[in-house]
Amino acid sequence: MKFNFIQSGGFTIDSYQPGEIQVNGQLYQHSVIVAPKSCLPWQIEHIEELQSEHLRLIAEKKPDILLLGTGERQIFPPMQHYAELISLGIGVEIMHSAAAARTYNLLLDEERNVIAAIIV
């Protein structure tokens, strides 16, 4: 699924489909953490693998909101894995990866402090 051009000047998600995501023209076939100023590989392939340590880098960046893309389906991981983010005042929204990609671009265009962790 291709997305519309966003005027933010930051890292935007160009397209997403199961198995790949394109960020700022670069195609990735692995999970990524996309932030306004960076796109980093994320060492998780399935939401069932999620542990608290997978989210530490995100906590260090102190976003206002994390969009957690769980793959092709919305799957809620055990809350203890992302409870630290909530305790730090970081909002966590869990959705399937296509929705997370679209929502990230919308929030970025609104100049919100958002990070998307997306499982491809």
Cα four-point dihedral sign 86, 34, 41, 118:
positive
Q: Is residue 72 part of a domain?
A: yes
Q: Is residue 3 part of a domain?
A: no
Q: Is residue 108 part of a domain?
A: yes
Q: Is residue 1 part of a domain?
A: no
47: CATH: 3.40.1230.10
Quote the number of domains for the chain: 1
Q: Is residue 2 part of a domain?
A: no
Q: Is residue 4 part of a domain?
A: no
Is pLDDT at 41 greater than 80 in this prediction? yes
In this prediction, residues 23-44 reach a mean pLDDT of 97
Tell me the sheet residues that pair with 69: 95, 118
Domain assignment of residue 40, given as a range? 13-118
Q: Is residue 6 part of a domain?
A: no
Q: Report the SS3 class of residue 63.
A: coil
Is pLDDT at 6 greater than 60 in this prediction? no
Is pLDDT at 15 greater than 70 in this prediction? yes
